[in-house]
């Protein structure tokens, strides 16, 4: 299984174990897609600006850039049966997010390695079935981005069950639908939140026999991917594996070793994160709120004092009292907005 963490690609056995970092790129790496033979990974890389399609060995190594489209919606979707990389992009349409599907060769080809349009009309996902049959998604997005949305921008699945180029809606579910996959057992799986929470479902190619396969109640199932037999997806930041043979899913135990540099302390310019300020009644000092933290300092010398709870509470509207010895702010400690009074010298506990 290849997954994304800390903006890089990692791999781990489907049975779990120690995860191995595959990339340490300058830009963000997302949406990995393993080739059918397991030897290569196509992914979206932002090393040089917009996301583009890159290719790298599955065991790690230098990545090769395959596209030069300059479109922010470019995203790999998988591999076709003839070994090309399938992706979506709106680079050739007049509007952003009016995506079409394309393929690009992972190696030298007669088309000069130029993207080739997949002639199925506007689409965001595609999965191939037997005999040239196809299931495509239109306006599909991750259901967790707009939970329980029921308006006109919900995604739909369309199917060409006979491979003759004639598509019709697969199902008319009142919810967000994403990531369809045509499995080798003949069923089509997808994620939907029509019952309230995003979970994994499947149906037959004629839309009948709709079944629910997972029962996540707290977090949406997201980003499902398949090798044609099993399905891997995420929920609540964990990896899960669904096996149709047993009709069950379980978390993949990932042992993760990383310096976690993105969680290190961050030193930022206070002025760039300034929320507000207030001058002392006598002009002797200034009180500021930066990144939700209240401070006060004299104009020319002396220490900078921080007030309130250092972490986990956000303060705003920091204001000097008329006596110049106290400050008033609004804090959200305990989940409720309330007034908090601080002693300007910081020598006594704040009162609410």
pLDDT per residue rounded down to tens, the chain (352 residues):
999 999 999 999 999 999 999 999 889 999 999 999 999 999 999 999 999 999 999 999 999 999 999 999 999 999 999 999 999 999 999 987 789 999 999 988 888 889 999 999 999 999 999 999 999 999 888 888 889 888 888 889 999 999 999 999 998 888 889 999 999 999 999 999 999 999 999 999 999 999 999 999 999 999 999 999 999 999 999 999 999 999 999 999 999 888 888 888 888 888 889 999 999 999 999 999 999 999 999 999 999 999 999 989 999 999 999 999 999 999 999 889 999 999 999 888 888 7
Nearest to 235 by CA among 212, 216, 249: 216
In a domain, 196, yes or no: yes
- Among residues 255, 274, 308, which one ends one of the domains? 255
The tokens 């680079």 sit on which residue?
A: 91
> Does residue 19 sit in the same domain as residue 56?
yes
The model carries a pTM of: 0.80
Nearest to 8 by CA among 251, 258, 263, 178: 258
SS3 342: strand
In a domain, 348, yes or no: no
Point out which residues pair with 233 in neighbouring strands.
240
> Does residue 322 sit in the same domain as residue 238?
no
In a domain, 352, yes or no: no
Token duo for residue 279: 């001058």
In a domain, 199, yes or no: yes
- Long-range contacts of 98-101, Cβ-Cβ distance < 8 Å, separation of 24 or more: 98/122, 99/73, 99/123, 99/124, 101/77, 101/126, 101/136
> Does residue 301 sit in the same domain as residue 214?
no
Is the Cβ–Cβ distance between 136 and 122 less than 8 Å?
Answer: no
> Does residue 129 sit in the same domain as residue 232?
yes
Question: Domain containing 21: what range?
Answer: 2-255
> Does residue 291 sit in the same domain as residue 228?
no
Is the Cβ–Cβ distance between 77 and 87 less than 8 Å?
Answer: yes
Nearest to 160 by CA among 211, 124, 120: 120
> Does residue 82 sit in the same domain as residue 123?
yes
Instruction: Please compute Rg for the chain using Cα positions.
Output: 26
**112 contact partners, CB below 8 Å, separation of at least 6:** none
> Does residue 82 sit in the same domain as residue 104?
yes
* Structural domain total, the chain: 2
In a domain, 351, yes or no: no
In this structure, what CATH number is given to the domain that contains residue 321? 2.20.25
């Amino acid at each position: 299984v290849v997954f994304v963490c800390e903006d890089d690609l990692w791999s781990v056995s489907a049975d779990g174990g120690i995860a191995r970092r595959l990339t340490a790129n300058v830009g963000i790496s997302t949406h990995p897609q393993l080739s059918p033979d397991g030897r290569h990974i196509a992914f979206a890389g932002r090393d040089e600006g917009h996301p583009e399609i890159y290719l790298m060995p599955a065991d790690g190594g230098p990545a090769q850039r395959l596209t030069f489209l300059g479109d922010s919606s470019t995203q790999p979707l998988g591999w076709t049966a003839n070994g090309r990389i399938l992706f979506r992009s709106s680079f050739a349409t007049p509007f952003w997010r009016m995506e079409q599907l394309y393929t690009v060769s992972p190696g030298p080809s007669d088309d000069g390695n130029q993207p080739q349009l997949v002639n199925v009309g506007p689409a965001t996902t595609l999965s191939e079935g037997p005999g040239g049959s196809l299931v495509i998604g239109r306006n599909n997005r991750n259901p967790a981005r707009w939970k329980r949305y029921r308006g006109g921008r919900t995604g739909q699945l369309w199917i060409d069950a006979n491979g003759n180029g004639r598509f019709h809606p697969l199902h008319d579910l009142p919810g967000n639908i994403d990531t369809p996959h045509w499995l080798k057992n003949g069923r089509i799986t997808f994620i939907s939140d029509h019952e309230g929470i995003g979970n994994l479902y499947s149906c037959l190619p004629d839309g009948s026999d709709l079944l629910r396969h997972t029962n996540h109640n707290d977090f949406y199932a997201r980003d499902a991917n398949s090798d044609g037999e099993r399905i891997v997806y995420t929920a609540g930041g964990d990896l899960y594996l669904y096996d149709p043979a047993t009709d069950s899913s379980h978390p993949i135990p990932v042992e993760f070793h990383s310096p976690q540099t993105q969680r290190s302390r961050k030193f930022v310019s206070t002025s760039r994160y300034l929320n507000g300020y207030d001058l002392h009644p006598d002009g002797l000092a200034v009180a500021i709120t930066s990144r939700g933290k209240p401070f006060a300092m004299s104009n020319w010398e002396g220490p900078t004092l921080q007030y309130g709870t250092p972490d986990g509470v956000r303060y705003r509207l920091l204001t000097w009292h008329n006596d110049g010895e106290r400050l008033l702010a609004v804090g959200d400690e305990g989940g409720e907005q309330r007034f908090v009074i601080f002693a300007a010298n910081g020598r006594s506990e704040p009162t609410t």
